[in-house]
Amino acid sequence: MQDKHRAYWRANLRLMGVLLALWFLVSFGFGILLVEPLNQVPFFGFKLGFWWAQQGSIYVFIVLIFVYAAAMRHIDRKHGVDDERDGGKGEPPCEPLRKNSK
């Protein structure tokens, strides 16, 4: 059980690391470090570097949210911790904790 738990969290952390690195590249890299080369490209009447820093990185962030949700659904199913384990019956996957009645 310990190995399954570690594998699940390793997959979760790997996904988080990749998505955070991509978010950093898109927001900091394109919006700040590469703004001058990107400003040489016109984009709907604006400089691409300016547009990317103001709008493009936000769009990528929203896409990353949906990518994260889909990837976590896949990881959850792969490791047997998804919400649909009960076949859609709405039953909890384990017995709830009960207080001692003393």
Would you state the pLDDT for residue 89? 52
What the block records as the tokens of 28 is: 């900091």
What does the domain layout of the chain look like in residue ranges? Answer: 2-79
Dump pLDDT digits (tens) for 18-35: 999 999 998 888 888 888
What the block records as the tokens of 75 is: 């990881």
Beta-strand relationship, 42-43 and 46-47? antiparallel
Chain centroid to CA 99: 36
Residue 85 neighbours by CB under 8 Å, 6+ apart: 93
Identify the H or E element spanning 39. helix 35-39
How many other C-beta atoms can be found within 10 angstroms of the C-beta atom of residue 18? Answer: 14
For the cut 80, the answer to whether the pLDDT of residue 86 exceeds it is no
Q: What is the pLDDT confidence band of residue 17, given thresholds at 50, 70 and 90?
A: very high
